[in-house]
Structure 1
Amino acid sequence: MKKVLFSAALFFTACAVSAQESVVKEAKSAKSDPVKAAQIIEPALTDPSTANDPETWKLAGDFQKSIYDDENMKLYLPGGQADTAKLYNSLAKMFEYYTKCDEVEQAKVKSGELKKPKLRKKLAKALVTVRPQLTNAGSDAYNAGNYANALKFFGLYVDAPQNPLFADEDAVKNDTLTPLIANYAALAANSLKDNAAVIKYATIGKEHKEEGYRSLMCLAEAYGKGETPDSAKWLTTIQEGVEKFPSQEYFIGNLMDYYIQKGKIDEGLAQMDAVLAKNSTPYFMYVKGVLQYEKKDYEGAIATFNQIIAEGKDFVAEAYSKIGDCSFFPAQEIVEENSKLSMDDPKYAANEAKIKELYEKALPFYEKAKEAKPDNRQLWGQYLLNIYWKLDKEKYNALEKELGY
């Protein structure tokens, strides 16, 4: 009985193999219609009896290449209208199937079933020819907000130099565009909050001399946020950004925030002075002024902010507001002190006079900030309300109405 069952099993296995082989033959006979042929061969890609044959994968890739070539030709014909979704889909599948073909063939060489690979060179040449189109596919997907597809296409481009299939293709291995495209892959991954992909591609992209800052920004976001933030790697990334891309405000701003939070203001000021010596911008001066303010070096901060105002470029409204802060917040400390004193306490009246003096000193700067940026209420709104409440109830009522309170 066991022998009969075993024989039956062999029979059904043979039938299954024969069925999949017939699928491959049917697909070959339909190659004049590559779309149909591609559909026919799909079952053979998952059945072990045919999926372990490199020729199956090559054939599947060839069908995708024919689909790609047909659509690509339309791009160059007068009045031609290519189906770009179809074009790009076949492009991705070409890479998938030809890569799988190479993997299967190499496995057979390693096992001794084949003496040497026969297909790698031909497959590589075919993919090298169409590889530049991956950047167009990625760009179209990214611009359409399809970040998953953008990551797929950009990723295929960037992964190619590490793909054994291209081991003998110097044009791919030495491609100077790879770090640039890696930046775009990192941006797509960042939009998907795929931190693993961000780290993979940004590590390559950050080496691009002009655009590498994008990857470093994405890396900083990946290390600074997510389920497992890594503060040490975040800081290293920010510092690398400051060193490599000193004109990018993102890195300086984040590093100075770090110094303030950690109470390392003197260290931050020393670094800002070094940065300003090489590249003096209104933003960098503003950051220095904020550090001086945090150190309670109000005189130094005001001098820095006045320099920004004198230049009359960017951050003028912010500089006015921050000069106001140099008087307003010391006044708030006295307000807090007075809240704990009896009104009969002699110190209370003296404090009230000092509060008024500081408010009067801050007032014109907040008003100038409002004049410079009337839509940015964070720079002046609550501060002016507090001051007007103390100094001018009529203006307080008018501003309260203006702010919609």
Structure 2
Amino acid sequence: MRKVLFTAAAFLFTVCAASAQESVVKEAKKAKGDPAKAAQIIEPALTDPSTANDPETWKLAGDFQKSIYDDENMKLYLPGGKADTSKLYNSLAKMFEYYTKCDEVEQAKVKSGELKKPKLRKKLAETLAKVRPQLTNAGSDAYNAGNYAGALKYFGLYVDAPQNAMFDEISSVKNDTLVPLIANYAALAANSLKDNSAVVKYATVGKNHKEEGFRSLMCLAEVYGKGETPDSTQWLATIKEGVEKFPNQEYFVGNLMDYYIQKGKVADALASMDEIIAKNPNSAYYKYVKGVLQYENKDYDGAIATFNDVIAAGGDFQAESSSKIGDCYFFPAQSIVEENSKISMDDPKYAANEKQIEELYKKAAPFYEKAKSLKPDDRQLWGQFLLNIYWKIDKEKYNALEKEMGY
């Protein structure tokens, strides 16, 4: 008997709860003249199964958000009007959330046979398609304010829309060519948040943009190279894709060359650089990188020829190229200095080595001096090298440079 009473009580409680939520929906409808108030009233109905499983509940909630959005949006066009953009964008996001959920619930009922066909999808999709462009403004404002979570939300809603079946009949959304561009910004926001899964999701779309896709590829490289679970294979594939698609972006070429050097694959690096230069024959940077690779490969004559090409062309990397030509003489001299440190000064080879060191230093000095004249503040290009050289061949210049450098 007690079990029957408990069952009856539970049934009555369920009926009362459902009735209470239906009452909330009715109360919200009555308050629609004040959409902000109505939106607050209906909130409990969105989480209670008795009403959350009704597409009309979600449509109503979306309608209230649309009214809030429309009221604020109108102020943007009225003389002297000042919209609350925070309120405007927040209602925009919620409108997307609620109308999308409405469609999801309605489609589930169609699939289960509870409804013969959807009644709301077309109108909801058309409504969202009209306001969707505003999501880019919302995302931009959030990003510029340092609100990366907000930026990711708004940009993400924009990018995700074409994948939603409710927009299949809306060509302006389904065939939107701006999606890859906005996906780049979503990836940047996700990268700022260290949200690696979101980076991968949006950068995979954004990397296909012809002009801005390099941003997504950079973000992907950061995730694969420095994430919680680094993936060297994916990192290298991403860097190579960046080199192929965006050869003018130094980030990809620089990382690829560093990789080859670290792996001792200088020959592979040089072959790759020749291909890149063939496609970008006027790039001083790429020629400079090739010269560095030749230098690393101890092909000093080849490196000097390449650096001289860079210098002759003018423009960028003249100081760096001059310094590297100096290196092509200075560091071979250092090897001889090391050799002399291990043999007796009475050994005839010692004197021959000293002469060779002096000759190499004299060849290196003008190039370091040129680098100094071009970039006097960048002492890494010439400072210690010239001091070493002057100590050996010109004490007067050594004293003057030491004083100049504040030693």
Q: What TM bracket, shorter-length normalisation?
A: over 0.9
For residue 231 of structure 1, report the CA deviation from its aligned partner.
1.6
Per-residue CA shift, 1:225-255, capped at 9, x if unaligned?
2122222222222222222222222222222
Tell me: CA distance 1:130–1:363, structure 2 relative to 1, closer, same or farther (3 Å). same
1:203 partnered with 2:204: yes
Change (3 A) 1:104 1:355: same
- Residue 19 of structure 2 aligns to a residue whose secondary structure is helix
CA distance in 2, matches of 1:395, 1:61: 79
Q: Cα deviation per residue 1:152-203 (whole Å; 9 max; x = unaligned)?
A: 1111111111112212222211111111111111222222222221211111
Taking the aligned partners of 1:98 and 1:82, their CA distance within structure 2 comes to 23
Q: Distance in 2 between matches of 1:333 and 1:49?
A: 83
Determine the C-alpha separation between the residues in 2 that align with 1:113 and 1:79. Answer: 50
Choose 259-268 or 29-38, whichever is displaced more. Answer: 259-268
Answer yes or no: is 1:290 the counterpart of 2:292: yes
Equivalent residue for 1:60?
Answer: 61
- Any idea what the Cα deviations from partners look like across 1:273-313, whole Å, max 9, x if unmatched? 23223322111111111111111111111111111112220
Identity of aligned residues (%): 81
CA distance, structure 1, for counterparts of residue 95 and residue 397 of structure 2? 71
For the pair 1:78 / 2:79, whether they are aligned, the reply is yes
Question: Which residue is equivalent to 1:216?
Answer: 217
Report the counterpart of residue 5 of structure 2 in structure 1: 4
The verdict on how the C-alpha distance between 1:403 and 1:197 changes in structure 2, with shifts beyond 3 A counting, is farther
CA distance in 2, matches of 1:142, 1:91: 17
- Letter of the 2:101 partner, please give it: K
**Aligned residue number for residue 163 of structure 2:** 162
Q: Distance in 1 between matches of 2:30 and 2:391?
A: 88
Aligned match for 1:381, one of 380, 383, 386: 383
Of residues 345-354 and 246-255 in structure 1, the stretch that sits farther from structure 2 once superposed is 345-354
Q: Once the 2 structures are TM-superposed, how far is the Cα of residue 5 of structure 1 from its aligned partner?
A: 1.8
Aligned pair in 2 of structure 1 residues 20, 238: CA closer, same or farther (>3 Å)?
same
SS in 2 for 1:203: helix
One-letter identity of the residue aligned with 1:4? L
- CA deviation string 1:14-58 (max 9, x = no partner): 222222222211111111111111111111111222111111111
Amino acid at match of 1:71: E
Deviation at 1:8, TM superposition (A): 1.8
**SS across alignment from 1:85:** helix
Distance 1:360 1:151 in 2: 58
Structure 1 residues 23-172: aligned runs within 5 Å: 23-172=24-173
Report the alpha carbon displacement of residue 99 of structure 1 after superposing the two structures with TM: 1.0
Letter matched to residue 223 of structure 1: Y
**TM-score normalised by length of structure 2:** 0.93
* Structure 1 counterpart SS, 2:27: helix
Give the distance between the partners of 1:351 and 1:13, measured in 2 at CA: 99
Deviation for aligned residue 1:353: 3.5
Distance change in 2, residues 1:348/1:27 (3 Å): farther
Q: Does 1:258 align with 2:259?
A: yes
**Matches of 1:229 and 1:19, distance apart in 2:** 52
> How far 1:132 sits from its partner (Å)?
0.6
Q: CA shift at 1:396, angstroms? A: 4.6
- The structural deviation recorded for 1:113 is 1.8
- Matched residues in 2 for 1:55 and 1:392: separation? 90
Q: Structure 1 residues 10 and 291 mapped into 2: Cα distance closer, same or farther (>3 Å)?
A: same
For structure 1, which runs of at least 5 residues remain unmatched after alignment?
none
Taking a change above 3 Å as real, the CA distance of residues 32 and 324 of structure 1, as seen in their structure-2 partners, is same
In the alignment, does 2:309 pair up with 1:307?
yes
Q: Residue 270 of structure 1: CA displacement?
A: 2.6
Question: For residues 381 and 141 of structure 1, do their structure 2 counterparts lie closer, same or farther at Cα, with a shift above 3 Å needed?
Answer: farther
For residues 392 and 250 of structure 1, the distance between their equivalents in structure 2, rounded to whole angstroms, comes to: 41
Match of residue 322 from structure 1: 324
Distance in 2 (CA, whole Å) between partners of 1:204 and 1:160 is 13
Distance of 2:25 and 2:376 partners within structure 1: 71
Whole-angstrom CA distance in 2 between matches of 1:401 and 1:142? 49
TM-score by length of 1: 0.93
Counterpart for residue 175 of structure 2: 174
1:135: Cα distance to partner? 0.9
* Segment of structure 1 superposing worse, 158-167 or 253-262: 253-262
Which deviates the most, 71-80 or 181-190? 181-190
1:361-384, CA deviations, whole angstroms, 9 ceiling, x for partnerless residues?
222222221221223232223323
Q: How does 1:244-255 map to 2 (within 5 A)?
A: 244-255=245-256
Amino acid at match of 2:296: E
Q: Which amino acid aligns with 1:336?
A: E
Residue 306 and residue 40 in structure 1: after superposition, are their counterparts in 2 closer, same or farther (change >3 A)?
same
Distance 2:73 2:99 in 1: 19
**Aligned mates of 2:126, 2:332 — CA distance in 1:** 71
Uncovered stretches (5+) of structure 2, i.e. residues with no partner: none
SS at match of 1:87: helix
1-side partners of 2:400 and 2:36: how far apart? 71
